[in-house]
Amino acid sequence: MNSIALAFMLLMGISMLVLPRRYALVPLLITVCYITLGQRFVIIGLDFTIFRIIILFGIVRLIIRKEYSLITLNTIDKTIVLWAVVCLITGALLDKTFGHLIHRLGQVYNALGVYFLFRANVRNLDDILRLTKIISVIILPLTIALLIEKATGRNIFYIFGGVPEITMIRGGRLRCQGPFAHPIMAGTFGATLMPLFVGLWFSNTKAKFNAFVGFICATIITLVSSASGPVMTYLAGIIGLSVWFFSKYMKAIRWGLLITIITLHFFMKAPIWFLIGRLGFLIGGTGWHRSELIDAAIKHINEWWLIGTTYTAHWLPFSVLINPDMTDITNHYILEGVYGGLPRMLLFITIIVVGFKGIGYSIESLKDESFAIRFMPWTIGTALFAHVVAFISVAYFDQLVVMWYLLLAIISTISNMPHTVTAKMSDS
């Protein structure tokens, strides 16, 4: 850890402890956007990146201020806790080495630490709107840094390690990544934030400038990554927002999509998931790899369905450099299965399903409220849909997981919201 990162960590940590609740999450969000995973402490095999240390400061804050006492566990909370328990159990059964145990404990620490830190501090509509406004400010300098990277071909975040100094190029296009571990992660970060800024625009008359800046920044971050996955995720967000006009017919739309997918699967020469490869061919990228990966996972399901597997190198004709026993798992659903079998994969999908149900319940309960209040949960649901699409083409493995658990915490809050709608969003 260099001196700049150390000073940054201390400043963010102290800020996490002393800031009022409405700004308590700012240090963690700043850390996500401006520090790479290259800055870390390793103590007796325990790997503490800066964002993990800031989470620790956040946990201390929850204990000192007893903010945890305000959390009432609901279905989403319990499902996430159950998923974490299954992560540990399947991990212990799959690989009994100390290093693997530490890796699983790190995953659970990230998930539960971030999720409940956000749950304790995001309690109502005012908190959601304020947090979205704050994010629009935080990502503005990040966007400028990525534009500089696009213009110069050099990543200024390389001074923190963990990312290359020279921006990678594919197909003649610079793939900017900033502090994220990969350009796809950076692009996905922007694409999944976009719907929230649309919700802010319509829900808060005093925050339209923030909403506009946030929307532009999210769009730029998506585009400068020059990756097809984030572009598809962004388009999924646009489609999700547009479907609002047909929200009364959602049941028919869902059944129609399901029937269409099943019909295509039986009438196409190749399985339905090979459409991903065709889309990749049209817009650029490696969609063919995603299709082949899904096909390989299904063919080899007998190897991983129970508790996962530690060897997938034979699934595809290439493996990853950091672990030659594993092929490049660029699908988060499959990664859940590889790490913990069908139990972990199905619980992960259950989290998503419960999230959508919570959003649907919230929208239905708010049907007599103003458009501003009703539309905000829809945009949050659209952000969830964007993540669902992103998971097909990328497995989250860096600080992007913080934004995933932030969204789940927001969804948990709005699931309870119909009972406590007191915020006047237009005056927030």
User: Is 38:1 a contact under the CB 8 Å cutoff?
Assistant: no
pLDDT for the residue 420: 47
Q: At 153, phi and psi to the nearest 5?
A: 75, 15
Could you tell me the two tokens for 271? Answer: 């399985």
Query: β-strand 40-43 against 46-49: which pairing, if any?
Result: antiparallel
Residues whose CB is less than 8 angstroms from the CB of residue 14 and which lie 6 or more positions away in sequence, other chains included: 57
Could you tell me the two tokens for 295? Answer: 């096909």
Euclidean distance between CA atoms 324 and 318, whole angstroms: 9
- DSSP states along 286-333: -HHHHHHHHHHHHHTHHHHTTT--S--TTTSS--BTTBTTS-----HH
C-alpha dist (Å) from residue 39 to 50, 55, 115, 258, 359: 6, 15, 22, 45, 37
C-alpha dist (Å) from residue 62 to 8, 65, 100, 406: 21, 5, 29, 16
pLDDT in tens, 345-383: 999 999 999 999 999 999 888 888 888 888 999 999 999
Q: At 41, phi and psi to the nearest 5?
A: -110, 140
Euclidean distance between CA atoms 46 and 335, whole angstroms: 23
Q: At 265, phi and psi to the nearest 5?
A: -60, -40
pLDDT for the residue 281: 57
pLDDT for the residue 427: 40
Could you tell me the two tokens for 227? Answer: 């990756």
Closest listed residue to residue 250, CA positions, set 178, 137, 136, 357: 357
pLDDT for the residue 129: 93
pLDDT for the residue 321: 60
The tens place of each residue's pLDDT in the chain, 428 residues long, gives 899 999 999 999 999 999 999 999 999 999 999 999 999 888 877 788 999 999 999 999 999 999 999 898 999 999 999 999 999 999 999 998 988 899 899 999 999 999 999 999 999 888 999 999 999 999 999 999 999 999 999 999 999 999 999 999 988 899 999 999 999 999 999 999 999 999 999 987 789 999 999 999 999 999 999 998 999 999 999 999 999 999 888 889 889 999 998 998 888 888 888 888 777 655 556 778 899 999 999 999 999 999 999 999 999 987 676 788 999 999 999 999 999 999 999 999 999 999 999 999 998 888 888 888 889 999 999 999 999 999 999 999 999 999 999 999 999 999 876 544 434 443 44
- DSSP states along 48-104: EEHHHHHHHHHHHHHHHHTGGGG----HHHHHHHHHHHHHHHHHHHH--SHHHHHHH
Alpha helices (H) in 177-300, listed in sequence order: 183-203, 208-224, 228-242, 250-267, 275-283, 287-299
Could you tell me the two tokens for 123? Answer: 């309690």
- DSSP states along 265-299: HHHSSS-GGGHHHHHHHHHSS-HHHHHHHHHHHHH
Closest listed residue to residue 352, CA positions, set 392, 399, 398: 392
User: Is 294:327 a contact under the CB 8 Å cutoff?
Assistant: no
Q: Calculate Rg over the CA atoms of the chain.
A: 21
- Sign of the CA dihedral running 287, 323, 85, 47: negative
Query: To 5 degrees, how large is the angle CA 112–CA 115–CA 118?
Result: 140
Q: What is this structure's pTM?
A: 0.94
pLDDT for the residue 1: 85
pLDDT for the residue 284: 56
Query: To 5 degrees, how large is the angle CA 141–CA 31–CA 152?
Result: 40
Report the interhelical angle of 183-203 vs 400-416 (nearest 10°): 30
Residues whose CB is less than 8 angstroms from the CB of residue 130 and which lie 6 or more positions away in sequence, other chains included: 22, 428
Residues whose CB is less than 8 angstroms from the CB of residue 172 and which lie 6 or more positions away in sequence, other chains included: none
User: Is 331:356 a contact under the CB 8 Å cutoff?
Assistant: no
Query: To 5 degrees, how large is the angle CA 377–CA 382–CA 383?
Result: 95
* Residue found under tokens 């945890």: 68
pLDDT for the residue 280: 63
